[in-house]
Amino acid sequence: MEIWDVLGLLFVFLIILVIAFFVFFGPISFLISMIFSRRKHRKMIDDVMDRVSSTVNEYGRDPLTNKKNPSKNEQISEAKMIQANFVVGPGWWNQWIASWHTLFGGNISSFDDVLMLARQDVLQSLRDQASEGGFDEVVNVRLESARISYLSAKSNKYIDVFAYGTAIKYANSNLSD
């Protein structure tokens, strides 16, 4: 056999591999997404909720409020703006389901999970920052979400959730740390 025959065979084999990759990549990824997506999001939500309850226990209450003014009318020693963000990808399965729901309408429960995960996570980041900095309370908390798109508006629907607020420390703080 000539060297060129071997090279030709190799080339054909490579082309078949590349075609197979492009043909099967979509369906296999979709299957993976279908099986693992919801489980992964649920697990992440459970993790966040655990962290939320531990911080709330530490404070004895939720330190975040969206009221404009501090809850106690005491002297304040420090005020600082804190912020957190979280970009979440809903996964192919959720995007596919959502696209079907636009035909029939109705509540897209799997998408609720994704957004809830992102919101709870940013709020928990604010709580973490407040607790690390020794702040007593975070007032005027605002949540915002935006869709950030990549290359084409059709393909991926990444969602950015952003939260910010003003962390305050009272002059006679009752926190131990």
Which positions lie near another protein, rule CB under 8 A?
A: 29-30, 32-33, 36-37, 40-41, 44, 68-70, 75-77, 79-81, 83, 85-94, 114, 121, 139-140, 142, 144, 146-153, 155-156, 158, 160, 162, 164-166, 168, 171
The Cα–Cα gap between 135 and 75 comes to: 14
**Residue 55 or 165 with smaller CB distance to another protein:** 165
**Residue 8 or 132 with smaller CB distance to another protein:** 132
- Is 122 in contact with 64 (CB distance < 8 Å)? no
Compute the least distance from the CB of residue 97 to another protein, in Å: 12
**Residue 10 or 155 with smaller CB distance to another protein:** 155
Compute the least distance from the CB of residue 81 to another protein, in Å: 5
Compute the least distance from the CB of residue 3 to another protein, in Å: 36
**Residue 56 or 143 with smaller CB distance to another protein:** 143
Helix (H) or strand (E) holding 101: helix 92-104
Half-sphere exposure (CA, 13 Å, Cβ side) for 8?
5
* Distance of alpha carbon 113 from the chain centroid: 10
Compute the least distance from the CB of residue 144 to another protein, in Å: 7
Put residue 98 in one of left, alpha, beta given phi > 0 → left and psi -120 to 50 → alpha: alpha
- Is 126 in contact with 82 (CB distance < 8 Å)? yes
